[in-house]
């Protein structure tokens, strides 16, 4: 009975997503979607090395205006002389001077317009300049996750990690970038890649704020305990479909994930029915043997058989329920108090540099003064 209720609940959830449930379609041989190869990962560089490489790159590049490059170099020299340990935010502010599109994207982000921010940063992320592309992808991924569009966030991160490998050398946000990549992998059901990503993050980013490392350890533990092909995977597939339908996206990959959810659920139902049949056969065999026992034993046997049957049914249900309770990827994240989850998301979203406007205004004031000279 417990199993029937459990599977009925799953079927109801599938129906609420718009999946056909009566009668169930013939399950396909397997999923039609393919998982991408995980991109190469590398350890983050010290912020001072990233910024020095950034300034050298900008100085040699012909993609940026001469006046903007000269201004960035002067600002870099002044900051190195004043506080060389506080350079982490400099590339973002400098990129806002060097790229008008990057500045507008930052304006959208700080104005709490994630849709515009995601669109503008994503356009920059597809560019060829590694520093502009990787840092734009970092901000775009934050905005997309804020919109619950994890699939596009992953696609963007996977692209820059592949095209600009190692991507961590081009940003001072490397620790959070690695976290976002693994986070997007686990929510697009790339379990092995996500496990490797979180392990890499924990190994190479020990100084990241505790709320990120704790979450990474929780999800990594859940991934290690995952039971493939069980109810946990059905739940994840349905959750993936829910997000896609909310975004009005019904492409081949989403339909393949839906079909895989139905296939797994159908397989679990068949297993439960087979286990129930085996239990009934065992009960029948036990009854025939018990007929040859003493009258006292036969009098007591019906009660024992009933108890054994109840235990057998309950045991099967308990095992399946336990499988459902076993940690699913992201389960602890989902059960985390809303306040704590919000703090982590806000911490990611607040990576937008607060100083970039000051540097941009300073740059334009300088241009104004120079243009007014006789």
State the Cα–Cα distance between residues 66 and 274, nearest whole angstrom.
74
Give how far Cα 315 sits from Cα of 276, 309, 311, 322, Å: 11, 10, 6, 10
CB 91 within 8 A of CB 64: no
State the Cα–Cα distance between residues 344 and 341, nearest whole angstrom.
5
Contacts of 40 (CB under 8 A, 6+ apart): 161, 162, 165, 166
The pLDDT assigned to 361 comes to 75
**CA-angle at 204, arms to 200 and 209, nearest 5°:** 105
For 180, other C-beta atoms within 10 Å of its C-beta total 25
The pLDDT assigned to 326 comes to 46
Give how far Cα 336 sits from Cα of 215, 218, 223, 236, 329, Å: 9, 10, 17, 17, 13
Give the sign of the dihedral formed by CA 337, CA 146, CA 354, CA 126.
Answer: positive
* DSSP character string of 170-233: G-TTHHHHHHHHHHHHHHTT-HHHHHHHHHHHHHH-TTS-HHHHHHHHHHHHHHHH--TTSHHH
Task: Using alpha carbons, select from 182, 172, 103, 83 the residue that is nearest to residue 135.
Answer: 172
CB 237 within 8 A of CB 264: yes
pTM of this prediction exceeds 0.85: no
pLDDT tens digit sequence for 121-165: 999 999 999 999 999 999 999 999 999 999 999 999 999 999 999
Task: Using alpha carbons, select from 195, 125, 209 the residue that is nearest to residue 162.
Answer: 125
Residues of the chain with pLDDT under 70: 1-33, 280-355, 370-374
DSSP 8-class letter at 247: T
State the Cα–Cα distance between residues 320 and 66, nearest whole angstrom.
66
For 135, other C-beta atoms within 10 Å of its C-beta total 27
The pLDDT assigned to 61 comes to 95
Q: What are the structure tokens assigned to 86, written together?
A: 């506080």
């Amino acid at each position: 009975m417990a199993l029937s209720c459990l599977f009925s609940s799953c079927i109801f959830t599938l129906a609420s997503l718009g999946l056909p449930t009566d009668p169930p379609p013939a399950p396909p041989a397997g999923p039609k979607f393919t998982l991408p190869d995980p991109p190469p990962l590398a350890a983050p560089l010290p912020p001072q090395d990233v910024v020095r490489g950034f300034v050298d790159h900008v100085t040699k590049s012909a993609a940026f205006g001469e006046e903007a490059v000269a201004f960035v170099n002067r600002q870099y020299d002044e900051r190195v002389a004043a506080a060389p340990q506080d350079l982490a935010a400099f590339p973002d502010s400098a990129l806002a001077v060097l790229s008008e599109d990057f500045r507008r994207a930052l304006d959208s982000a700080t104005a709490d317009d994630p849709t515009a921010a995601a669109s503008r940063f994503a356009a920059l992320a597809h560019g060829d300049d590694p520093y502009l592309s990787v840092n734009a992808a970092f901000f775009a991924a934050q905005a997309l996750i804020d919109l619950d569009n994890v699939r596009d966030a992953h696609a963007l991160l996977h692209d820059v990690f592949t095209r600009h490998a190692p991507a961590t050398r081009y940003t001072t946000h490397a620790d959070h970038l690695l976290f976002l990549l693994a986070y997007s992998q686990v929510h697009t059901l790339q379990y092995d890649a996500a496990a490797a990503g979180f392990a890499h993050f924990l190994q190479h980013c020990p100084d990241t704020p505790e709320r990120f490392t704790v979450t990474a350890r929780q999800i990594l533990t859940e991934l290690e305990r995952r039971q493939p092909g069980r109810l946990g995977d059905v739940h994840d597939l349905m959750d993936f479909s829910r997000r896609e339908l909310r975004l009005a996206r019904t492409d081949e990959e989403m339909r393949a994930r839906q079909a895989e959810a139905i296939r797994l659920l159908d397989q679990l139902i068949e297993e439960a029915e087979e286990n129930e049949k085996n239990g009934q056969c065992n009960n029948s065999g036990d009854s025939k043997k018990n007929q040859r026992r003493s009258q006292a034993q036969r009098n007591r046997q019906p009660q024992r058989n009933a108890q054994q049957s109840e235990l057998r049914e309950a045991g099967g249900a308990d095992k399946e329920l336990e499988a459902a309770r076993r940690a699913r990827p992201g389960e602890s994240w989902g059960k985390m108090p809303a306040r704590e989850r919000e703090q982590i998301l806000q911490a990611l979203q607040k990576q937008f540099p607060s100083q970039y406007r000051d540097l941009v205004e300073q740059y334009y004031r300088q241009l104004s003064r120079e243009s007014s000279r006789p």
